[in-house]
Amino acid sequence: MESPLHHFEVHPVIPIHVMGVDLSINNAVLAMWVGLAVVFFFFIVVVKNGVKTIPGKLQSVAEISLLFIRNLVDEFIGKEEGKKYFPFVASLFFFILACNLVGLIPGSYTITSQLVVTGAFAFGIFILTLIIGFAKHGAHFLSILVPPGVPKIMIPLMIPIEIISMVARPISLSVRLFANMTAGHTVLAVLFGLAMSASVFLGWLPFGFTVVINGLEIAIAFIQAYIFTTLTCVYIGDVIKLH
Amino acid sequence: MPQFEQVGVFSSLIFWSLISFAILLYLLWRYAFPPIIEALEDREKKIRDDIDAAERMKQEGQKLKADLEAELKKAHEKANTIVQMASDESRKIQERTLHETQAKVRQMQEDAQQEIQVLHHKLLGEIRGYTAALTIATAEKFLKKAIDDAEGKRMVNESIDEVIRSLEKQARN
Amino acid sequence: MNEGSGFRQGLSIAFRLGIELTVATLVGAGMGYGLDHLLGTRPWFLVLGVFLGATAGALNVYRIAQDFQVEDEGGEKKDRSDPEDPSGKSD
């Protein structure tokens, strides 16, 4: 029985090296592209079918998901400000959801189980919130480090605490997604390995578990995509509202 | 864990995931979201408009209903007034007719009474005449033998007066 | 919509609280460690960083919980006003 962590290994498919940097297209990237292609073609089919006032099934799905994200954006960023960030937030949601879901296909790869990927996204969002904050409030944005209603004596103490809590945000954001995806897939791999190695008349037991856990993993894929998106909205909303 | 051991693939993973996200963001932003969001907003607007229109129509209907009810009430009142007036009129006519009839009847009664009175007087006169003549004739024939004229006339007159008094007494009773 | 919002709120909080505390402590420790490395003051900034990090984590958790409470009270208020709603009576 091979290691359950074996399927997290990345194998280059088309090696590309640019100035000594490895930019090879590997199985993880290919799996991600499959997921993104599905998302893209889903929306293209909806739009090409003609967006109707009375929606068909596909259009309903697209509308419900977009409406869901729009409510999210409205709630945490604000109705007016939210319009600007909606496409980014919605794309982020579909990107993560597609990557999470495509990984559930046996033999495929979940790129969101790579901490560097989730970390890159979280870091990008962190930088984005800083840019938005400084663009919107200028130097006054630094007051986000001092919560309102704090006595003056406490300020030197509060500033490092606030800096730590701000830096902790993107890290917890990326770690959460990475950990959930890795854990789920590890459990699936272990169970599937058991099903393969067990005798025929006992094999159905772990296999049944695999099916159940797979269903659970689909829910986790949605929940994690949702949480990542929600927290992105919360962080953007925080720097826009500034307390 | 391979995620931390395969350091060499990090650059390609980060690069391709960010690039792919950027492309997805561009494509969805450019082609997919606007028509769908527009349809959503159109529908929301349409629903809101429809609700507004329905609300307006409802209000109009209620106003119309209230108007009609007021109209109906007015008509009812008018009808009632007319019926009232008609019944008043008819009662008046009835009363007037009754009065007239009563007056006529009374008149007729009075006329009849008067006529009876006149006839009564006339009859009395005639009876008196006849009686006088009869008495005179009788007395004349009777007294031709017994007494002279003067005494006879006085006695006749006395008897006439007695007759009239008794007649009048009868009539009074 | 309100019901869905409450559900979503609860879901995100359930998945957030645990990791928030740990990560903040680790970040504090890491920052302290880095400062020590730069200034050669080991282990003082590391100790300070762990304490500040734990505080920051607690603060984050406290804020999330506070948000949740506000949300919850809002929900209750809505529920209380519901019986006055004529459409609610027919149910």
Per the domain annotation, does A136 fall within a domain?
yes
How far C2 CA lies from chain A's nearest CA (Å)? 11
Question: Residue B146: what pLDDT?
Answer: 65
For chain C, the domain total comes to 1
Per the domain annotation, does C86 fall within a domain?
no
Q: Which chains touch C (3 or more CB pairs under 8 A)?
A: A
pLDDT tens string C2-37: 445 666 666 666 666 778 888 889 999 999 999 999
Task: Check whether A237 has a pLDDT greater than 80.
Answer: yes
Residues of B with CB under 8 A from a CB of A: 1-4, 6, 8-18, 20-21, 24-25, 27-29, 31-33, 35-40, 42-43, 46
Nearest-by-Cβ selection for A115 from B3, B17, B21:
B3
Question: Residue C40: what pLDDT?
Answer: 87
Per the domain annotation, does B4 fall within a domain?
no
How far A243 CA lies from chain B's nearest CA (Å)? 29
- Tell me what the mean pLDDT of segment A106-131 comes to: 92
Per the domain annotation, does C90 fall within a domain?
no
Q: pLDDT higher for B173 or B23?
A: B23
In whole angstroms, give the CA distance from residue B157 to residue A61: 145
Taking contacts as CB-CB distances below 8 angstroms, the residues of chain B near A116 are 3, 10, 13-14
Taking contacts as CB-CB distances below 8 angstroms, the residues of chain A near B17 are 29, 32, 111, 117, 120-121
How far C69 CA lies from chain A's nearest CA (Å)? 16
For chain A, the domain total comes to 1
List, in sequence order, every residue forming a beta bridge with A25; answer none if it has no partner.
A14
Per the domain annotation, does C24 fall within a domain?
yes
Nearest-by-Cβ selection for A168 from C4, C12, C27:
C27
Task: Check whether B29 has a pLDDT greater than 50.
Answer: yes
Per the domain annotation, does C43 fall within a domain?
yes
Question: Residue C71: what pLDDT?
Answer: 55
Question: Residue B149: what pLDDT?
Answer: 66
pLDDT tens string B36-83: 888 888 888 989 999 999 999 999 999 999 999 999 999 999 999 999
Per the domain annotation, does B3 fall within a domain?
no
Question: Residue C80: what pLDDT?
Answer: 38
Per the domain annotation, does B52 fall within a domain?
yes
CB atoms within 10 A of CB A98: 26
C53 Cβ under 8 Å from any chain A Cβ:
yes
Structural domain span for residue B114:
12-172
DSSP characters for C30-74? HHHHHHHHHHT-TTHHHHHHHHHHHHHHHHHHHHHHHHHHHHHHH
A59·B36 Cβ contact <8 A: yes
Per the domain annotation, does A1 fall within a domain?
no
Per the domain annotation, does B56 fall within a domain?
yes
Structure tokens given for B41: 């907003």
Task: Evaluate the CA torsion angle C46, C52, C55, C60 in order and state its sign.
Answer: negative
Task: Check whether A155 has a pLDDT greater than 60.
Answer: yes
Share of chain A above pLDDT 70, in %: 97
- Tell me what the mean pLDDT of segment B69-98 comes to: 94
Structure tokens given for B109: 């009664």
**By mean pLDDT, which of A36-50, A67-81, A88-102, A181-195 is the weakest?**
A181-195
- Tell me what the mean pLDDT of segment A152-173 comes to: 88
Per the domain annotation, does C85 fall within a domain?
no
Question: Residue C14: what pLDDT?
Answer: 65
Structure tokens given for A142: 């630094």
For chain B, the domain total comes to 1
This complex has an ipTM of 0.89
Residues 6+ apart with CB under 8 A from A17: A23, A24
Structural domain span for residue C37:
2-80
